[in-house]
A and B are shown apart, each in its own frame.
Chain A
Amino acid sequence: MELEFFSAAFLSALFAIILIDLVLAGDNALIIGLVARNLPKNTQNKVIFWGTFGAIAIRAAMAILVVYILAVPGFMLGGGLALVWIARKLLTPEPDAAANHLAKAPAATFAGAVRTIVIADAVMGVDNVLAIGGAAHGSILLIVLGLAISVPIIVWGSQLVIKLVDRYPSVILLGGAVLAWTAYSMIVREPLLVAWFEAHPATKLVVAILIFSISLGPWYSERLAEHMKPLVVLLPALLVWMLAFEVAASVWKVQVDYLLAKDEGEYMLEGLRWLGWLPLAALFLWVREQLAARTRRAARS
């Protein structure tokens, strides 16, 4: 789908790409510095140039590849689910964020240094590339523009990004919300599911709330009192339960609407749909309480 140049849709997608790029940016400057630190001075400059060039090239190639891969049926759904996980990971507070497993040892040779920088960028950029591929609505121009704006910021302006998120930490929460929104639009655009969503329009709202509750859950659970924290699991689980009945109704052609139920079996199924989750929720709370009690006992002894 090609978006009209400078239309609201185009600018919105560009804004989403830049925001996603910034919040999911890998620490390329640190990687380059770590890898090149033991090389001779004249080789260091070459490593920085070719490492940066290689990183940008591999990222652009991956992003364009993702646009084509997402057109294959099934991949939009997979990408959307992956984005939910990425948003959740972004918003989960990390106790030890200083460690970097991607580039521990300094490189001894020029080729080794460039290879390490490019591989590290490719590994760090997978989530980023997937997210911007989803937000670009299939437009190569948007991807190129987004990369042209954000890659220089990431590679050379990392201090600027750090200052921005340091001054406004809510940018990270906004990035998580935009990722969740992109995941939602990817899942409802999935070619295999479009017809099903048209037949079950109400499920779109359930999917949206489910995605936001899973993605933003870690952030808001930090604020909740200990006894309220199970809600972060129970609410998405309840939505999945309800959604599962809708899917089952389509797959096995069973009647789950009580207004249309005709026999006892269908009424039982409807009862199971609305009340069946209660024992499971009680079981979850009991198991959670038992585990917490066991942890407390282990900590005392």
Chain B
Amino acid sequence: MLLIHRSPRAANAVRTVSPGGELFVAAVVICMILAAFGDAVDPAWIGEAGLEVALFDLGGEFSVLAMRHWHLLQLLLAGAALAAGITVLRIGSTVFYRALRPAPPGGVEKVPIKL
């Protein structure tokens, strides 16, 4: 028996995991797949396709092709940064769209300004 199964919450982790933790792992997995993509792509083919600017020069060390040399800790850091970025974007877009949402036409406070 695995030690983690001694904890009911951990044994049932798929239902008890936090959305933030799951987003972080999903971001790490995306980084791992991107690193595998960088490993799979033949740089000569990228040059032939005219995409060298997008993949070589855009991010320098952070380009997909450079990710093939990244180690686990770098992938974890990149996953954390990606997850933080997605969270900030999600919060920002929620705030933005909430501000754009019109007040209900029949509402008492048509203009939501309180003096």
Contacts of A154 in B (CB 8 A): 3
Which residues from 255 to 273 on chain A have a C-beta closer than 8 Å to any C-beta of chain B?
none
A177 close to B9 (CB less than 8 A):
no
B3 close to A158 (CB less than 8 A):
yes
Q: Which of B14-22, B50-58, B89-97 contacts A (4 or more CB under 8 A)?
A: B14-22
Which residues from 17 to 53 on chain B have a C-beta closer than 8 Å to any C-beta of chain A?
17-18, 20-22, 24-25, 28-29, 32-33, 36-37, 39-42
Also in contact, A169 and B21, with CB within 8 A (given A30-B6, A94-B11): yes
B6 close to A12 (CB less than 8 A):
no
B32 close to A166 (CB less than 8 A):
no
Say yes or no for B10: interface residue by CB 8 A criterion. yes
Interface size, chain B (Cβ < 8 Å): 38
Also in contact, A97 and B11, with CB within 8 A (given A15-B73, A25-B3): yes
CA distance A11 to B13 in the complex (A): 27
Say yes or no for A2: interface residue by CB 8 A criterion. no
Of the listed residues B10, B24, B32, the one surrounded by the most CB atoms of chain A closer than 10 A to its CB is: B10
Q: How far is the CB of A230 from the nearest CB of chain B, in Å?
A: 19
B40 close to A204 (CB less than 8 A):
yes
Task: Choose among B14, B29, B33 the residue that contacts A222 (Cβ–Cβ < 8 A).
Answer: B14
Contacts of B18 in A (CB 8 A): 168-170
Whose C-beta in chain A lies nearest to the C-beta of B20? A170
Also in contact, A169 and B72, with CB within 8 A (given A27-B3, A209-B33, A212-B32): no
23 contacts between A and B (CB under 8 A): A11-B73, A15-B72, A15-B76, A16-B72, A24-B2, A27-B2, A91-B14, A99-B1, A165-B4, A170-B18, A174-B28, A177-B28, A177-B29, A180-B29, A180-B32, A181-B75, A201-B40, A205-B33, A205-B36, A207-B36, A208-B32, A208-B37, A223-B14
Also in contact, A94 and B32, with CB within 8 A (given A15-B73, A202-B40): no
Say yes or no for A9: interface residue by CB 8 A criterion. yes
Also in contact, A172 and B4, with CB within 8 A (given A93-B14, A219-B14): yes
Which residues from 17 to 76 on chain A have a C-beta closer than 8 Å to any C-beta of chain B?
23-28, 30
Contacts of B29 in A (CB 8 A): 177, 180, 212, 216
Say yes or no for A147: interface residue by CB 8 A criterion. no
Which residues from 178 to 236 on chain A have a C-beta closer than 8 Å to any C-beta of chain B?
178, 180-181, 184, 188, 201-205, 207-209, 212, 216, 219, 222-223
CA distance A153 to B51 in the complex (A): 49
Whose C-beta in chain A lies nearest to the C-beta of B23? A170
Also in contact, A8 and B71, with CB within 8 A (given A26-B2, A177-B29, A201-B40): yes
B33 close to A170 (CB less than 8 A):
no
B5 close to A94 (CB less than 8 A):
yes
CA distance A81 to B80 in the complex (A): 28
Of the listed residues B15, B16, B18, B22, the one surrounded by the most CB atoms of chain A closer than 10 A to its CB is: B22
B15 close to A173 (CB less than 8 A):
no
Also in contact, A178 and B72, with CB within 8 A (given A169-B10, A173-B25): yes
Of the listed residues A25, A102, A173, A219, the one surrounded by the most CB atoms of chain B closer than 10 A to its CB is: A173
Q: How far is the CB of A215 from the nearest CB of chain B, in Å?
A: 10
A204 close to B39 (CB less than 8 A):
yes
Task: Choose among B4, B32, B36, B71 the residue that contacts A23 (Cβ–Cβ < 8 A).
Answer: B4
Contacts of B87 in A (CB 8 A): none
Q: How far is the CB of A126 from the nearest CB of chain B, in Å?
A: 13
Say yes or no for A13: interface residue by CB 8 A criterion. yes
Contacts of A111 in B (CB 8 A): none
Task: Choose among B3, B10, B32, B74 the residue that contacts A177 (Cβ–Cβ < 8 A).
Answer: B32
CA distance A94 to B42 in the complex (A): 42
B1 close to A30 (CB less than 8 A):
yes
Q: How far is the CB of A220 from the nearest CB of chain B, in Å?
A: 9
Q: How far is the CB of A147 from the nearest CB of chain B, in Å?
A: 16
